[in-house]
Amino acid sequence: QVQLVESGGGLVKPGGSLRLSCAASGFTFSDYYMSWIRQAPGKGLEWVSYISSSGTNIYYADSVKGRFSISRDIAKNSLYLQMNSLTADDTAVYFCAREAITAAGLLDSWGQGTLVTVSS
């Protein structure tokens, strides 16, 4: 079955960096668009970034543009999010999600999330 497992979260100081990973299994990773979604404590869901199946096309939310970088490694069936210049506003659970092959933007499978806390 489809499985997405995030890792790499933790406590980081303001201005610091962190790299999140998402290990995919149970489906042909190279066929699917992928996204990162985040959820601040007690808050709603916010789309962060998208990457096409080949990695050619990439988009970011304005709130992270210029600071975050999404990438994927087809050989390792993995998705990544490099986060730089972190601020307290970036504190959240970060989910990786698969976009449905029949409808771009429809998030049909989600990982359990990894918590990123930005604090001094």
Partner 1 sequence: EVVMTQSPATLSVSPGERATLSCGASQYVSSNLAWYQQKPGQAPRLLIYGASTRATGIPARFTGSGSGTDFTLTISSLQSEDFAVYYCQQYNNWPQLTFGGGTKVEIK
Binding site for partner 1 (CB under 8 A): 35, 37, 44-47, 50, 59, 61, 95, 100, 103-113
Residue 26 Cβ vs partner 1, minimum distance, rounded to whole Å:
14
120: enclosing H helix or E strand? none
Is the dihedral angle over the CA atoms 96, 94, 84, 65 positive or is it negative?
Answer: positive
Chain centre distance of CA 113: 9
Question: Minimum distance from CB of 49 to partner 1 (Å)?
Answer: 9
For residue 81, which phi and psi values (nearest 5 degrees)? -140, 110
One-letter amino acid of 40: A
Minimum CB distance to partner 1 smaller for 10 or for 14: 10
Closer residue to partner 1 (CB): 44 or 75? 44
CB of 45 to partner 1, least distance (A): 4
